[in-house]
C-alpha cells in the first residue's frame, strides 16, 4: 500500500489533530492488513523470501538483512517506520507508529518492546475535543541494543552504540555510548566508543 502524503502532513506536523477522522481511520486499517498477513505467514526456510517481501511492503523503508519474529503490532502497519540495515526484532514488537519512528543500522530489539509516538492532552476537555492527538518522533541511532520489555516514549532519541536494559521505561533522550536502565531509565555508565 502506498503512503498518503495528505495524512503524512497531518500526523507528522507535531500539532494536535483529529485522530478519529474517518478517512484517516480507513487508511490506518488498510495499513494494518499487511501486518496481519505477515503475522500469519508460515515459519519456514522456504517462506523467508515471502516474509522479506512483506516487510518491504509494510515499512516506510527497511534496509537489507532485516528480520522480525512475528507477531508484530503497529497502529499504521509500520508505514511510518523507517529502518536501516541489519535490523533484528524479537516477537511482540509493538510500534505505536502514528508518528515517525526512525531506526538506524545494526539495531537489536528484544521481545515485548513498545515504541510510542502519540501524545494526548492532559486536560480532559481538550482530550475529548476533536483535536485530541499529536505525535512526536522517536529516533533510535545505529548499533543500539534494546533488551526485553522496554518501552520508549514519544519524542525520545536513543544515541548510537547505547544499550537499554531489560524492563526499562525510556522517558528522555539517551546519550550515545551509554548503558541506561530502570523505571524511568537512567544512565548507569559509559560504554566503549565505536
**Active-site residue numbers?**
120
C-alpha cell at 179: 548503558
Give the separation between CA 84 and CA 12, rounded to whole angstroms: 20
Sign for the CA dihedral angle at 142, 144, 148, 151 comes to negative
Q: Are 94 and 114 in contact (CB under 8 A)?
A: yes
C-alpha cell at 58: 509494510
What end-to-end distance do the CA atoms of the chain give, in Å? 38
| Best CA proximity match to 150, nearest among 193, 107, 105 | 107
| Best CA proximity match to 89, nearest among 157, 129, 23, 144 | 144
Q: How many CB atoms lie within 10 A of CB 104?
A: 20
Q: How many CB atoms lie within 10 A of CB 176?
A: 19
| Best CA proximity match to 157, nearest among 177, 143, 137 | 137
Amino acid at each position: 500500500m502506498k503512503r498518503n502524503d495528505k495524512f503524512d502532513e497531518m500526523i507528522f506536523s507535531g500539532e494536535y489533530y483529529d485522530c478519529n477522522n474517518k478517512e484517516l481511520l480507513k487508511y490506518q486499517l488498510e495499513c494494518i492488513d499487511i501486518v496481519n498477513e505477515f503475522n500469519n505467514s508460515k515459519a519456514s526456510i522456504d517462506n523467508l523470501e515471502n516474509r522479506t517481501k512483506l516487510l518491504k511492503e509494510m515499512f516506510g523503508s527497511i534496509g537489507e538483512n532485516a528480520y522480525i519474529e512475528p507477531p508484530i503490532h503497529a497502529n499504521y502497519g509500520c508505514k511510518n517506520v523507517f529502518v536501516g540495515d541489519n535490523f533484528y526484532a524479537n516477537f511482540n514488537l509493538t510500534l505505536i507508529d502514528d508518528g515517525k519512528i526512525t531506526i538506524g543500522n545494526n539495531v537489536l530489539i528484544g521481545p515485548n518492546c513498545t515504541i510510542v509516538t502519540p501524545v494526548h492532552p492532559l486536560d480532559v476537555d481538550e482530550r475529548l475535543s476533536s483535536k485530541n492527538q499529536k505525535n512526536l518522533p522517536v529516533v533510535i541511532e545505529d548499533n543500539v541494543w534494546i533488551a526485553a520489555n522496554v518501552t520508549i516514549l514519544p519524542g525520545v532519541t536513543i544515541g548510537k552504540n547505547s544499550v537499554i536494559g531489560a524492563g526499562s521505561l525510556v522517558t528522555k533522550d539517551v546519550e550515545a555510548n551509554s548503558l541506561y536502565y530502570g523505571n524511568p531509565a537512567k544512565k548507569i555508565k559509559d560504554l566503549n566508543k565505536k
